[in-house]
Structure 1
Amino acid sequence: MAKAKTPSGRRPQTAQPAIAGSAVAADAPTPKKRTSIPQFASQVRAEARKIVWPSRKETWITSVMVFIMVVVATIFFWIVDYGLAFLSRIILAIGAQ
Structure 2
Amino acid sequence: MAKKPGSTPQAMRNRAAKTAAAMASPAAVAQSQPKKKTSPAQFAKEVRAEMRKITWTSRKETWITSVMVAIMVALAAIFFTVVDFGLQFGVTQILKLATAG
TM-score normalized by the length of structure 1: 0.64
The structure that has the greater radius of gyration is 1
1:40 equivalent in alignment to 2:43: yes
Distance in 1 separating the partners of 2:78 and 2:42: 53
What is the deviation of 1:37? 2.6
Q: Higher helix proportion, which one?
A: 2
Size of the aligned set, in residue pairs, is: 71
1:59 to 62, 76, 81: 62
In structure 1, C-alpha distance between the alignment counterparts of 2:96 and 2:35, rounded to whole Å: 71
Q: Which segments of 5 or more consecutive residues in structure 1 lack a partner in the other structure?
A: 1-26
- Give 4+ residue runs of structure 1 displaced > 3 Å after superposition: none
Per-residue CA distance 1:69-91 (angstroms, 9 max, x = gap): 01111111101111111111011
What TM-score, normalized to structure 2? 0.62
Calculate the aligned-residue CA RMSD, in Å: 1.7
Segments of structure 2 that go 5 or more residues without pairing to the other structure are 1-27
Q: Percent identity?
A: 59
